[in-house]
Structure 1
Amino acid sequence: MELIEAELFTDPGNDVVVRLPPRRFPGVLIQGDSLSIIRGDVAEIVEACARGDVDDAHEAATILLAVVRTAATVHGGFTAGTDGGWLIALSAVERCSSDYG
């Protein structure tokens, strides 16, 4: 393990915006327990897709999208200045969601 200094842009919580050296743009750090919940949500979507249950997959994906959208909104001032990865991903999920919803 290596100890380094990082820039903290938000108050500590379940997710924070930090910039690590030598990165140009900050990122979102998600606590392990919160990440485990997100992993479970994604697993639920995969399982529903494997069963061919589009309605369950859509419902679970919609809930997960709301969680991710909240994180992106809270940290939106930081994502807007980056390559837009969060915003591109959200747009793609929203397009897919509208195609099936």
Structure 2
Amino acid sequence: MPPKKKDNGTVRKVDSRATDVETSRAFDSQTCEELKLKKTELDKALQAERRRIAELTSEFESLREVPDDIEDLRSRSMRCNLLFHGFPEEPSPAARRSENCAKKVLDH
């Protein structure tokens, strides 16, 4: 009968190990599913960010053209300006804002 006790102990060990393996496998399976869900969420977020980057890149490219348009408008607005040299400049910003340039030129 001693061999049966040894076999009985071995069976318990094997059964215990099988239970441990099943528990471990269930945990691994659950973890794998959670990782798949997180990966799916991250893939969706990545796609959204890529779309956003594409939109921002497009917007940036259109804004790069603005300085040329501004320079063109500035040049056109200055086309009919007249420049007068030799007049003394007012000493303070407040005096420059209130001076009547047209009168100074006409009086000269």
Q: Normalised by the size of structure 2, how large is the TM-score? A: 0.23
Flag the structure with higher strand content: 1
Larger Rg: 2
RCO comparison, higher one (Cα < 8 Å, 6+): 1
- Structure with the larger helix share: 2
